[in-house]
Amino acid sequence: MTQAKNGDTVRINYNGRLADGTQFDSSGNEPLQFTLGEGQVIAGLETHVEGMEVGAKSTVTIPADAAYGPHRPEAVMTVDRARVPDNINVDIGARLQVRTPEGRPMPVTVVGVDDTSVKLDGNHRLAGRDLVFDVELVEIVQAA
């Protein structure tokens, strides 16, 4: 059988979960389509799919470094509450967008709030976490 290789466009079904079993994502009703080698999915998942044959199913644990990277303390910032407009939701867990000093948009999550400050985390929500994927290669749509 043909194995998926770099440059192939593939379709996979997957379920992603944390080591404790908490599911964080899945392909749902439609397989995920991406091209191997183009960095469209996390590196560890891409590496795992490469070499699989159509119909193959497997489970892989991807360490944080090959997923969303380590949790970076420098990406957590505290801002003065007065600098946040009143119409902005600052409930813990709210996702906001701020601008970097260079003017680029950066997604952040509210991780703390009190009367004087708001604590924002610019890390991906899965940063620092090892991820477990159940993967099925459904199809090689286009071979390289």
Look at residues 68, 61, 27, 43 and name the one whose alpha carbon lies nearest to residue 131: 61
Per-residue model confidence as pLDDT tens digits over 40-82 = 999 999 999 999 999 999 999 999 999 999 999 999 999 999 9
> Shortest CA distance to 18 belongs to which of 82, 66, 61?
61
| Confidence (pLDDT) at 100 | 85
Angular region, 86: left φ>0, alpha ψ -120 to 50, beta rest? alpha
For residue 138, what pLDDT is reported?
Answer: 97
Q: Tell me the whole-structure pTM to 2 decimals.
A: 0.81
Which of 67, 71, 88 shows the shortest CA–CA distance to 122?
A: 71
